Amino acid sequence: MEPTEHKEQTLFYKWCLANSETYPDLNAIFAIPNGGNRDAITGRHLKDEGVRAGVPDMFLPVARGNWHGLFIEMKKRSGGRVSKEQLTWASVLNGLGYLTIIAKGFQEAREHVIKYYSA
């Protein structure tokens, strides 16, 4: 059985914490919990607080090369759909100087981070 997006992101986050000595400040990565099912009241409160559809799942506030930081949209290895809002956010954030990638699974996310640190 293929891991869920949640499981892939959890594995990736644990890898980041375990490798923060090899990749400086990698332990500064954090999740942006925009997804998930919520009741109507909680959904309204979050929207009022600024939750936006399509914002990537994780952010690494570490500058490398010409980039101010790295946003990561996690998907499961196969079958994960990228929404129009997610593509729009990726384009906007890239234009603002933040590398934004869509990773299909833990392994792909890890490869992107390793490449990002070599910039």
Above pLDDT 90, what percent of the chain?
A: 76
pTM of the full structure: 0.93
CA-to-CA separations, 71 to 1, 37, 45, 112, in angstroms, rounded: 28, 22, 24, 11
> Which 3 state secondary structure label does DSSP give 21?
coil
Q: Does domain 5-117 have CATH number 3.40.640.10?
A: no
Question: How do residues 12-55 score in pLDDT, each as one tens digit?
Answer: 999 999 999 999 999 999 999 887 677 888 878 888 888 888 99
Q: Under a CB-based contact definition with an 8 Å cutoff, are residues 60 and 72 in contact?
A: yes
> Exposed, middle or buried, 96 (CB in 10 Å: 0-12/13-18/19+)?
exposed
Listed by start position, the domains of the chain span 5-117
CB contact burial 15-31 (16+ within 10 A = b; e otherwise)? bbeeeeeebeebeebee
Question: How do residues 69-78 score in pLDDT, each as one tens digit?
Answer: 999 999 999 8
